Amino acid sequence: VIDGIHLHARLAALARVGAIDGGGCARLALTDADKDGRDLVVGWMRAQGLAVTVDAIGNVFAVRAGREDGPPVMTGSHIDTVRTGGRFDGNYGVLAGLEVCRAFDAAGLVTRHPLCVAFFTNEEGARFQPDMMGSLVHAGGLSLQEAYAATDTSGLRLGDELERIGYRGRAAPGTIRPRAFVELHIEQGPVLEEAGRTIGAVTGVQGISWHEFVVSGTAAHAGTTPMRLRHDAGYVAAAAATYVRQLTHDMGGAQVGTVGVSELRPNLINVIANHARFTVDLRNTDEALLRQAEQRTFAAIDSVAQAEGAAVERRRLARFEPVVFDAAMVAHVERVARAHGHDPMRLPSGAGHDAQMMARLCPTAMIFVPSVTGLSHNVAEYTAPADLEAGAAVLLDVLLELAQA
């Protein structure tokens, strides 16, 4: 059985690394704080007697031997956070995986297949794009060269930062091919809480479209320049953000859209901006609708820029189609949850997850536990201790059955 006290203690210890006001964490991928978090978790892995491998993209795999060699059953998630991150996003799934190993150790249990607990590099995509990068490279969806070339907003290269913090490992990505992958994660949305359920059996992950837009207008005087002569890059950015909001209303349903990054230059009160950079995050569970949302957004931004006499450049930062998880795996999660006395709920994931990349390699599932008021990517992100323990207990039995099969 899961040692809940130990799980909470480790979550608290990891949350102290990169802690920020309000109880949250800032451990952006490949920063010093990320290195410190990695060192802490790798230390725990080693102390538990697991065999640790670091691959060339910095993914970390901790293997508990089985009676047979061969592909392991894998679980895990990520430990990087956004700049205003909570303490459970990602971390929970990794540390719960380690608790499953501890529970097996305590029971003197050797499973048939090896069990592997992984954490993947740069899942959040907050510093380097695309998100889910480590698992994407592992699944062969992105080359090491492309991944290393990603830069943050200060121009630092991912490859250099990985080397700097000492996590450019020797193993070739993708070497460890699991038999099955299960990721335990907080929901990060309000659905389970609103439905009063403890366990979610995740059916898949919605499609994700990330684009960056750079608008070039003309710097000019805010007082002397008639409205008809303006080429205001800031106005184009503002109109894009209000358009995205309107689009989500018009499309309704599952369509969400966010402008999370927006920056002007020279960013002075009496100067019309000659430069704007902003991002658009669009998501939908339906690929055709997501494409429609993209096309409408691109067309709207092009047309407002043209009317303003400003140039706009678009760059794709990430694009993943919706993913549907293996039906047998989803049913397996449901069955175990019911055996634990829960009334599990099927739901798609609103957030991207490493599981969606692993689904390219093997049968994959996810287990969700509720997020209070659906809050995540916020320092106030919270899940009740009892729910964290319930999710870990379900994970244990889901993994046990897969590892003994």
Which residues make up each annotated binding site for Zn(2+)? 78, 89, 124, 185, 377
Any contact of residue 353 with ligand URP (CB under 6 A)? Answer: yes
Q: Which does 261 bind (CB under 5 to 8 A by kind): ligand URP, a copy of itself, none?
A: a copy of itself
Q: Which does 374 bind (CB under 5 to 8 A by kind): ligand URP, a copy of itself, none?
A: a copy of itself
Q: Which does 355 bind (CB under 5 to 8 A by kind): ligand URP, a copy of itself, none?
A: none
Q: Which does 123 bind (CB under 5 to 8 A by kind): a copy of itself, ligand URP, none?
A: ligand URP
Spatial contact of 179 and 361, defined as CB atoms under 8 Å apart:
no
Query: Distance between CA atoms of 228 and 124, rounded to whole angstroms?
Result: 42
Q: Which is nearer to ligand URP, 48 or 84 (CB)?
A: 84
In the region spanning residues 45 to 84, those forming contacts with a copy of itself, defined by CB under 8 A, are 82-84
Structure tokens at 200: 């979610």
**Residue from 214, 212, 55 nearest 148 by CA:** 55
Q: Which stretch binds a copy of itself (CB under 8 A): 34-42, 45-53, 245-253, 389-397?
A: 245-253
CA angle 275, 280, 283 (to 5 degrees): 175
Q: Which stretch binds a copy of itself (CB under 8 A): 8-16, 118-126, 321-329, 333-341?
A: 118-126
Are β-strands 345-349 and 200-205 bridged in parallel, bridged antiparallel, or unpaired?
Answer: parallel
Any contact of residue 237 with a copy of itself (CB under 8 A)? Answer: yes
**What Rg value do the Cα atoms of the chain yield, rounded?**
22
The 10 Å CB-count burial string (b at 16+, else e) for 158-176 is bbebbeebebbbeeebeeb
In the region spanning residues 203 to 222, those forming contacts with ligand URP, defined by CB under 6 A, are 221-222
Backbone angles phi, psi at 133, to 5 degrees: -70, -45
Any contact of residue 87 with a copy of itself (CB under 8 A)? Answer: no
> In angstroms, what is the minimal distance from the CB of 290 to a copy of itself?
12
Give how far the C-alpha of residue 240 lies from the chain's centroid of Cα atoms, to the nearest Å: 25
Q: Which stretch binds ligand URP (CB under 6 A): 19-27, 66-74, 347-355, 360-368?
A: 347-355
In the region spanning residues 134 to 193, those forming contacts with ligand URP, defined by CB under 6 A, are 188
Q: Which is nearer to a copy of itself, 75 or 206 (CB)?
A: 206
Give how far the C-alpha of residue 299 lies from the chain's centroid of Cα atoms, to the nearest Å: 28
CA angle 106, 108, 113 (to 5 degrees): 115
> In angstroms, what is the minimal distance from the CB of 321 to a copy of itself?
14
In the region spanning residues 358 to 397, those forming contacts with a copy of itself, defined by CB under 8 A, are 374-379
Q: Which does 227 bind (CB under 5 to 8 A by kind): a copy of itself, ligand URP, none?
A: a copy of itself
Residues 6+ apart with CB under 8 A from 397: 336, 339, 340
